[in-house]
Chains A and B, each alone.
Chain A
């Protein structure tokens, strides 16, 4: 059975305290892995697409990496505005472009 698991469920950081979020997946065939950010009361907002092991993508204080079994989202020197829920999702090679499978998310709180 295809599964996407995110850890930890919640993360509380001090401003400037770097950390990593994990997204592990067991799927039959991966077309791509996606990271989204979701603010309270809003829809998810796209961050990154990764589609081959060893790939890395960066955006401001965020860096996403991909291996054959998992992806990491590194937050370097976070600021309070980085507080959000971070979602990862996978798209399978056997699935339509409209179909993503999401993990439950990691809620990140960054305190000043």
Chain B
């Protein structure tokens, strides 16, 4: 049981390049989320999914796309990278429905630098 995995761990992009951050979970969780973490700002929600085929925007969705074709995978696409997207990106998953059992599991993160 690997939990939540993310690839790559580190990435450097030039302005205007596109790329996909990968996220996978093996816990059969319904809910998956992408956050970015910047110094002094905490974690901010980018996009989230409540199940395969269903996604919605979070607090800071501009410049990012997501899709969820399977329960396990939730990739995050940067369409045209900008220096403002330099950040650490975390993927998380959870099984909702019962608050007493609720826990959001986080991946190890992807550190992205856009030059």
**CB–CB B43/A45 < 8 A:** no
- Known: A32-B99, A49-B103, A98-B31. Is A43-B90 also a contact (CB below 8 A)? yes
Interface size for chain A: under 10, 10 to 19, 20 to 34, or 35 or more residues? Answer: 20 to 34
Given A43-B108, A44-B106: A100 in contact with B90 (beta carbons within 8 A): no
Taking a contact as CB atoms under 8 Å apart, the answer to whether B48 and A44 are in contact is: no
Residues of chain B at interface, number, CB under 8 A? 34
Set B31, B43, B59, B99: member contacting A96, Cβ < 8 A: B31
B positions within 8 Å CB-CB of A: 4, 30-33, 35, 40-45, 48-50, 56, 58-59, 90, 92, 94-97, 99-100, 102-109
| Contacts from A to B (Cβ < 8 Å) | 4, 9, 31-32, 34, 36, 41-46, 49, 51, 87, 89, 91, 96-105
